[in-house]
Chains A and B, each alone.
Chain A
Amino acid sequence: MRDKFIVIRKTIFILLGMLVIIFAGKSFYDHRNFNEPVVTNEGVTEVKKLGDYFTGISGTINDCNIYVFEGEEEGSNMLVIGGTHPEEPAGRLAAYLFAENGKMKAGKLFLAITANRSASTGTKLGGAYPPDFSIKTSFGERKFRMGDRWSNPLDQWPDPEVYIHYPSGQNLAYVDTRNLNRTWPGRENGTLTEQTCYAFMELIKKEKIDVFIDLHEAELQYPVISTIVAHENGEELATFVSMMLTDMEGFRMGVEFSPKNLHGLSHREVGDYSDAVSLLFEAPEPFLDATRGTTSREQLLTGKDEFVVMAGKHGLLFEQIDENGWPIAKRVGRHTSAILMTMEIWSEDYPDRPLICEGVPRYEEVIENGVGYYLNDPKSALKNRIVLE
C-alpha cells in the first residue's frame, strides 16, 4: 500500500518536472529561434555575411548580417556594430534605425545589428530578463529578442578555468571568454567569440575601415557611462563629437580614453591592431543596475525605477536619474546622434573623403516621435527588402 503511494507520488512529481521542462524548454527554444525582420531602406545597397570576411565563422550562429550602405559619392568607410552585448537594446535599436532609414550620400557605411548573435539567443542566468520586448508603431508592434551579455553556452562550452586574453596574455574572468567585448582582436582558431572578433577585424582590414563604432549601454552604478571611450587615435575626434553633442543637441556626452592596459575591449584592440579610429559609445540603462526593482519589459523600455532613483539620492550613481527614468527613445537617440555627429566632425576633418548620411533621426526627433515611428512595416514591405536578424 505504502509502496503504491510512493509510486503515485513519484509519478506526480516527475510529471510536474516534465511540464516545467516542456514549457520552459519551449520558451527557450522559441526565443533562440525567433527571427526579427529588418525592413531595409533603399540606402542598404548590399547585405553581406560576416562569414564573407572569414570562412571560419560561416554557417555558425554568429555569421551575422553586414548591411552595406554604398554612398552616392566616394568617401571614407565606417563600421558600426550594435548587439555586442544584446542585453543593451539601445545599441541594436539604433542600428535598426540606420538599416531602416539611412542612406549614405558620401562614403560607405558597414553595419552589424547583432554583432554577437549567439548572445542574443539567450537571457542572463539569474537575471529574470524578459525573452523579448516590443516597440509600438503605427502599424502595431515590432518584437525584438532580449539578449545576454555573453555568448550562449549552447554555442561555446565549457569555459576555461581562467580566460587568458589573446594576444596580451592578460587574465580575465572565465565567463568573459564568451564576452565579445573582451575577445578583441580575436583569434583565427580560437573560440566562437574570439573567431567573431577575428572576422570583424578581417572586415575592418579588407574594407579599409576608417572609423569603427561599438554601441553599448551601462548600468548607472558603473563609472563608464554616457560617454565616448576613445582609443588614442580617436581622442581628438571624440572630444569634438562630445563638445558638439553637448552644445548642439542638448545632452551630455563625456569622453574617456581607452586604458592601455585593459585588454580585449574594442576601443583598445581595434585601434591597436588596425588603422581604424576606434570609439565606443555608452548610454544609460537602469535595467542593468543591481539595485533595480521589478524586472520587466516596462522597466527595460522606460528606464523608470524607484530603487535606482533612491541609490542616486545617496550619491551611488555616475549618471542622474529621476522619476522620468531613461526611456528607450532617449537612449537610442543618443546613439543615432552620436554616430551622425561623428560622421559630421570626421567630414570636417577630412573634406576630401567625407561620411554623409541622410534619413536617420537624431536625438530630439527620436524622443519626439518615438523609436517605433522610424521602424517600417514588414507586412507592407517588398519581400526583397526584408532580411532576418
Chain B
Amino acid sequence: MEFVNSIINWIYYGIVGFTAIIMIYNLIKEKSWEKEVLYILVIIPFLLRLFGLK
C-alpha cells in the first residue's frame, strides 16, 4: 500500500508539472497584459510544489 501511495504521490507531481507546462504554453501565446500577470501568479504555486519547496 505504501508503494501504491508513493506512486500516487509521484502522479500528483506529474499533474502539477503538466499543468505548469500548459500554463507556460498559454502564457507564451497570451497577448493581454492582465492575463500574463495572472498566469505568472497562478504558475508560482505549481512550480513551488513541483520543486519541493512548499
Contact = CB atoms under 8 A, between A and B. Distances in A.
User: Taking the complex as a whole, does A directly touch B, i.e. does some CB pair lie under 8 Å apart?
Assistant: yes
Interface of A: 6, 9-10, 13-14, 16-17, 20-21, 24-25, 28-29, 122, 153-154, 157-158, 189, 191
Contact of B40 (A17, A154, A157, A189): A17
A16 B48 contact: no
Nearest first, the 8 A-B pairs at minimum CB distance are: A17-B40, A25-B53, A28-B53, A28-B54, A13-B40, A189-B1, A13-B36, A158-B12
12 contacts: A6-B31, A9-B33, A10-B27, A13-B40, A14-B40, A17-B41, A21-B47, A24-B48, A24-B54, A25-B53, A154-B54, A189-B2
A158 B36 contact: no
B36 A9 contact: yes
B36 A21 contact: no
Contact of A157 (B12, B31, B41, B51): B12
Interface in B7-54: 8-9, 12, 27-28, 30-31, 33, 36-37, 40-41, 43-44, 47-49, 51-54
Given A10-B28, A20-B44, A191-B5, 5 more contacts: A9-B33, A10-B36, A16-B40, A21-B48, A189-B1
A154 B52 contact: yes
Given A25-B53, A189-B2, A158 B8 contact: yes
A17 to B, nearest CB: 4
B9 A157 contact: yes
A126 to B, nearest CB: 12
Query: Is chain B's interface secondary structure helix, strand, loop, or mixed overall?
Result: helix
B49 to A, nearest CB: 8
B8 to A, nearest CB: 7
B33 to A, nearest CB: 6
A17 B48 contact: no
A17 B44 contact: yes
Interface of B: 1-2, 5, 8-9, 12, 27-28, 30-31, 33, 36-37, 40-41, 43-44, 47-49, 51-54
Contacts of A17: 40-41, 43-44
B11 to A, nearest CB: 9
A59 B30 CA distance: 46
B47 to A, nearest CB: 6
B31 to A, nearest CB: 6
A33 to B, nearest CB: 11
Nearest to B28: A10
A158 B8 CA distance: 8
Contact of B48 (A14, A25, A189): A25
Contact of A25 (B1, B5, B37, B51): B51
B54 A122 contact: yes
A17 B46 CA distance: 12
Contacts of B40: 13-14, 16-17
A13 B31 CA distance: 13
Nearest to A187: B1
A121 to B, nearest CB: 10
B43 to A, nearest CB: 7
A368 B3 CA distance: 53
Contacts of A158: 8-9, 12
A9 B51 CA distance: 26
A153 B47 CA distance: 14
A202 B1 CA distance: 21
A158 B31 CA distance: 35
Contacts of B12: 157-158
A268 B35 CA distance: 51
A189 B2 CA distance: 7
B46 to A, nearest CB: 10
